């Protein structure tokens, strides 16, 4: 693209950009009417120069903010060296990244992929083969227990066990081999762990569901139930992991170590899609040459950036920021309960806020926040999800709470 053509694109107004998009895109999203052009830290700027506090952060993909200098430097350096090879060959970024991420997570092996949904699909394949080869479940009989209200992606296998009809409806026939139980109900889970179950898949906190935090002791109970039944516990920490909740993993809040970690979003530092499945060798070694793969999974550029993410997380600074700023956000949002807020759930710098639907819809609340320079998005009607980058400041958090209060007070 020439400099002149690029300048012409940047000269388009918000309305022009939106019209162009709506003309040529599949309508699989319903964005707010803002067109972003630049980001730095916790803030973004639109095509007309207006600034906004990003309180969605790419659904936690931007935990470290827009354009983190260490991540940009690592990416720039790798761009000048090597960006992609086939996994038919080794490359010099792969081993060091694997060594770093296994040391950080305490698992013995990692299988890198790209998107979070790919990582979930990978984990499902691992669980099924492990169930057959290690647990001894008959071929094509292994079942996986999932949770009501889950969100693990939108591929055909994943929507087969989704309880969200918007994501599911019209896309059948569906993949079999799954049984769904209510999230947070240990008795229902235990009853579902029959001999042919090979794994339990859950989000330690349900992000898309509205930052739904399970009852205290639930994750520890799931761990114990999986141990008793001889099945794998697989934790989808794609949104909840990598410092978002104030710990490296949301499971850490109950001292629980799953058999399988599923990671994504923040692992790519907000620069590119990187995901990974991590497990010990007795689980991971059911994957053999040719049984799984990805052209871009574990490419040099992704490994370089993800390695820098691991190095940032290893200091614990981001976890501490999430705890400190999260406590400030929690206090501010709790003060709004009864003032148009029905309930607020906060874990680290991650909150789900239930707006009274008699006052206004979640979409209307998102639009009011947009008008006040805050980017957030509703889920499931009247719940607003808040996940500012962990590099946000105390002033940013106070601005968010003030904007929320002002939006609720609008006549």
Residue 6 lies in a domain: no
Residues labelled catalytic: 151, 236, 265
CB 234 within 8 A of CB 262: yes
In a domain, 226, yes or no: yes
Give the pLDDT score at 2. Answer: 57
Residue-wise burial string across 304-343, b where 16 or more C-beta atoms lie within 10 A, e elsewhere: bbbbbbbebbeeeebbebbbebbebbbebbeebeeebbee
Do 198 and 216 have their domain in common? yes
| Residue 5: predicted pLDDT | 53
310 and 377 inside one domain: no
User: Is 392 found in the same domain as 302?
Assistant: no
Mean pLDDT throughout 89-115?
98
pLDDT digits (tens, 9 = 90+) for 182-200: 999 999 999 999 999 999 9
Q: Are residues 211 and 94 in the same domain?
A: yes
Q: Are 34 and 381 in contact (CB under 8 A)?
A: no
202/237 Cα distance (integer angstroms): 9
At 145 the pLDDT is 99
Identify whether residues 298 and 337 lie together within a single domain. Answer: no
Based on the domain organization, do 339 and 199 belong to the same domain? no
Q: Phi and psi of 41, rounded to 5°?
A: 65, -125
Angle of helix 362-371 versus helix 394-409 axis, rounded to 10: 120
Beta strands in 85-165 (DSSP E): 109-113, 143-147
Q: Are residues 99 and 247 in the same domain?
A: yes
Share of residues in the chain with pLDDT > 90 (%): 97
Residue 4 has pLDDT above 80, yes or no: no
402, 390 contact by CB (below 8 A): no
Residue 154 has pLDDT above 80, yes or no: yes
Predicted confidence (pLDDT) at residue 173 exceeds the cutoff of 70:
yes
DSSP state at residue 202: E
5 is a domain residue: no
pLDDT at 84 over 90: yes
Question: Which of 116-119's residues contact partners 24+ apart within 8 Å by CB, and which partners?
Answer: 116/152, 116/153, 116/236, 116/238, 116/262, 116/264, 116/265, 116/275, 117/152, 117/153, 117/154, 117/155, 117/158, 118/275, 118/294, 118/297, 119/238, 119/262, 119/263, 119/264, 119/275, 119/276, 119/277
Q: Are the CB atoms for 350 and 244 separated by under 8 Å?
A: yes
Total residues found in the chain within this entry = 411
| pLDDT number for residue 280 | 98
Average pLDDT, the chain: 96
Residue 56 belongs to domain spanning: 12-68+317-409
* Eight-class DSSP state of 81: T
The pLDDT of residue 165 is: 94
Domain count, the chain: 2
* φ, ψ for residue 343, nearest 5 deg: -160, 155
Burial of 18 (0-12, 13-18, 19+ CB in 10 A): middle
Q: What are the tens digits of pLDDT across the range 354-382? A: 999 999 999 999 999 999 999 999 998 89
Residues 295 and 324 in one domain: no
Among 103, 83, 102, CA closest to 93: 83
pLDDT value at residue 380: 86
Over pLDDT 70: what percentage of the chain?
97
Span 255-271, pLDDT tens digits = 999 999 999 999 999 99
Same domain, 40 and 54: yes
> Which one, of 279, 283, 230, lies nearest residue 258 by Cα?
279
Whether residue 247 is contained in a domain is answered as yes
* pLDDT above 70 (res 9): no
Dist. CA 72–CA 272, nearest whole Å: 11
The answer to whether position 137 is within a domain reads yes
Q: Is the pLDDT of residue 8 over 90?
A: no
Cβ atoms of residues 268 and 274 within 8 Å: yes
Is the pLDDT reported for residue 7 higher than 90?
no
Q: What are the start-end ranges of the E strands in 284-411?
A: 341-346, 351-355, 374-375, 377-379, 383-386
Q: Are 287 and 71 in contact (CB under 8 A)?
A: no
Q: What is the pLDDT of residue 381?
A: 86
Calpha distance 333→344 (Å, rounded): 7
Instruction: Give the DSSP H or E segment for 15.
Output: helix 14-24
- Per-residue model confidence as pLDDT tens digits over 10-46: 689 999 999 999 999 999 999 999 999 999 999 999 9
Of 300, 253, 297, the residue nearest 277 (C-alpha): 297
The domain boundary residue, chosen from 297, 314, 331: 314
Instruction: Give exposure, 142-168, as e/b (b: 16+ Cβ within 10 Å).
Output: bbbbbbbbbbbbebebbbbbbbbeeeb
Query: Of the candidates 101, 137, 114, which has an alpha carbon nearest to the alpha carbon of residue 232?
Result: 137
Contact status, residue 20 vs residue 29, Cβ threshold 8 Å:
no
Q: 124 with 220, same domain? A: yes
CATH code of the domain in which 31 resides: 3.90.1150.10
Quick one: pLDDT at residue 263?
99
Euclidean distance between the first and final Cα of the chain, in Å? 47
pLDDT score recorded for residue 406 = 98
> What pLDDT digit, counting tens, does each position of 279-314 carry?
999 999 999 999 999 999 999 999 999 999 999 999
- CATH label of the domain that carries residue 191: 3.40.640.10
Q: Does residue 192 share a domain with residue 45?
A: no
């Amino acid at each position: 693209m020439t400099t002149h053509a690029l300048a012409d694109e940047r000269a388009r107004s918000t309305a022009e950009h939106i019209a162009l998009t709506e003309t040529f895109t599949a309508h699989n999203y319903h964005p707010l009417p803002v067109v972003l052009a630049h980001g730095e830290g916790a803030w973004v700027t639109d095509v007309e120069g207006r600034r906004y506090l990003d309180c969605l952060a790419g659904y936690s993909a931007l935990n470290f903010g827009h354009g983190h200098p260490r991540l940009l430097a690592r990416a720039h350096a790798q761009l000048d060296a090597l960006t992609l090879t086939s996994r038919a060959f080794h490359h010099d970024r792969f081993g060091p990244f694997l060594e770093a991420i296994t040391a950080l997570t305490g698992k013995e092996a990692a299988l890198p992929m790209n998107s979070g949904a790919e990582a979930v699909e990978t984990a499902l394949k691992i669980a099924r083969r492990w169930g057959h080869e290690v647990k001894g479940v008959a071929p094509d009989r292994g079942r996986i227990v999932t949770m009501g209200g889950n969100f693990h992606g939108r591929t055909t296998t994943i929507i087969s066990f989704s309880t969200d009809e918007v994501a599911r409806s019209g896309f059948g026939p569906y993949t079999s081999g799954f049984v769904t139980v209510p999230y947070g109900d240990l008795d229902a889970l235990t009853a579902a762990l029959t001999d042919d179950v090979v794994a339990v898949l859950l989000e330690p906190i349900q992000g898309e569901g509205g930052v739904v935090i399970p009852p205290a002791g639930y994750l520890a109970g799931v761990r114990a139930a999986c141990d008793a039944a001889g099945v794998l516990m697989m934790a989808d920490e794609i949104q909840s992991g990598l410092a978002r909740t104030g710990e490296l993993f949301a499971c850490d809040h109950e001292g629980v170590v799953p058999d399988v970690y599923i990671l994504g979003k923040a692992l790519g530092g907000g620069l590119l899609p990187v995901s990974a499945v991590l497990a010990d060798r007795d689980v991971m070694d059911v994957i053999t040459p040719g049984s799984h793969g990805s052209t871009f999974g574990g490419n040099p550029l992704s490994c370089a950036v993800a390695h820098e993410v691991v190095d940032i997380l290893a200091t614990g600074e981001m976890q501490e920021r999430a705890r400190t700023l999260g406590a400030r956000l929690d206090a501010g949002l709790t003060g709004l309960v009864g003032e148009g807020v029905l309930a607020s759930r906060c874990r680290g710098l991650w909150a789900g806020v239930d707006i009274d639907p008699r006052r206004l819809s979640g979409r209307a609340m998102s639009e009011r926040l947009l008008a006040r320079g805050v980017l957030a998005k509703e889920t499931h009607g009247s719940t607003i999800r808040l996940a500012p980058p962990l590099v946000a400041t105390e002033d940013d958090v106070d601005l968010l709470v003030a904007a929320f209060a002002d939006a609720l007070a609008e006549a």
